[in-house]
Structure 1
Amino acid sequence: MMSHLHLILPPKLYENIERAGINTAKQILVLSVWEIKKKTNLSTQDIKLIKSYVANEMSPSSILTSKRILHERNINTKVTTGCSEINSVLEGGYRIGTITEIFGESGTGKTQLGIQAALHNWPKSVLYICTEDLFPIKRLNEIKRCVPNYDPNVDYGKNIFVEHIIEARDLLSCIQVRSPKLLSQHRFSLIIIDSIAAPFRVDNSNYVQRAEELRELSMALINFSQQYKLAVLCINQVTASFNNSDNMLPSLGLAWSNMVSTRLWVRKTMKTIDVNKIKAFESEICNDKILVKELIVTFAPDLANDKVQYVITDRGIKGIT
């Protein structure tokens, strides 16, 4: 590599170091002030000036804050939720290579969070596994209007692959046997299971077998998420708890909880918001008011225990501040 020191240093200083056989920036940075002084007879002040010129040229300027570094890192490690306010709390969205769980009671918008995530990641393929009701295609067609740069001529559902499964063994077979073939043919960003609890509630008498199947399923999901660089979103139901102040816990117990990396709790609040403050709304309105829900980060390896409030509109989930 040719030296470009003549473009960096003042002419007289450059001539001195060139005569001394110092031809590269690396030599100037590595040699001590005393060694350069011995070779060139330059003053200590001049040598420090030379080192300063070279260091400023060779070292890229950096104005990155730790927050910006984390943000840029998260761009490549997370997939969007489809809601900017929830993305902010999750520092980018659902984490790639791990299982994220959303749990909460009925009517809190769990399925709609899944649909919204699927739609906003539509350029890359999404696998949506339904274990309770049929896939809500009508709701998907409503929410798709919130996709950035929405075009009615675009088929936003073409990259969303839907499976309907009701039994645990079939779900395990889908993940272990059929999914790898699909994942090898398409570049997926997200796997959604809605809900993870339903297949395991069909026959819950053998808890040991259920725990083994849950562990086997979760390990397969984690392996796929890391191998194919995708996120896994599992929607979970709730069960009553006499020891919990809120009287509800996510279903499936510790066997499942130990495999989840990020747990998000969605719940109803007593708060309402005026519809005039929101551009879009749906049939949930009562006396010109919309009920407010809340998403809480219960635990996550990289997130604070933060929360965000949201409402369900005719175009999906919308965060409020």
Structure 2
Amino acid sequence: MQSNFVDYVKVFLRSGNGGAGSSHFRREKFVEFGGPDGGDGGVGGSIILRGSHQHWTLIHLKYRKHIHADNGECGHGQRRSGKSGEDVILEVPLGTIAKDAETGEVLLEVTEDGEEKVIAPGGIGGLGNWHFKTATNQAPRYAQPGMPGVEGWFILELKILADVGLVGFPNAGKSTLLSAISAAKPKIADYAFTTLEPNIGIVEHRDGKSFVMADIPGIIEGAHEGRGLGLRFLRHIERNSMLLFMIPADSKNIHEEYNVLVNELKMYNPELLDKKRILAITKSDMLDEELMAEIEQDLPGIPHVFISSVVGYHMQELKDMIWKQLNNE
């Protein structure tokens, strides 16, 4: 079954050319030597990206490979400017970045609802001949051509915007947690790589407050080299304000698993380690207090909590901890 979640598209964009200026001369019955009155050419249409919170994927652009804006019209007599080409506005999810496909250079990013950024500006229209009239040249017979628009291949890439990104190996209980504390309904099963695409959930806290949590495909050792879901997974974690590491209570060595996860993030982008971190030990309904105390002696030095999404153990404590970290600058 084909996924509806598309976080990468390559599109060919061509903005409109500017219209040529007119080299028209005034022609009236009783005016023997009408001067130049050619108008300016219209501006070519631009291609604009507009942020929309109603979109969460780039699927609507997946099969729209070639996108062209209209050219500007030529200028007219009586100094009338040509009509400008109509802009093309492409709505994109918040967190979309645009790159030059040839160089890989990041051109812009769209992070706010309603924000508009021009990815391919239209060509400027040429000036009409009346602009070139001088004392020594009363009848210029030339006008400027319009400037060409921009054309080329561009990459649009989505990086999920969320307050909290869930980090863990496949089958660490990330999807189960998201479904337990938000209205999101990710696919859940007891095998690795159930989650093949990010899921977003809004988690209600106290007093009507809330934060956004992203369940992202599980990391594996070597993900920074592109293994497993690799770079596609790691791309989405860059935008999260905080990382919630999730490791099951029955893991052989929780501290070692944590170090592997941290190393993958470091190898991909060292700046990820500047984010706030919390560790949740999942599936803790199988532990008694004695076992928890034993496990606590060898945990990483970051805030931690024992949870069980299935029975609701320490769900409120986890939310309180996350809220405190998010709002503790």
TM-score of Structure 1 vs Structure 2, range by shorter chain: under 0.3
Q: Give the helix-richer structure, 1 or 2.
A: 1
What is the TM-score of this pair, normalised by structure 2?
0.27
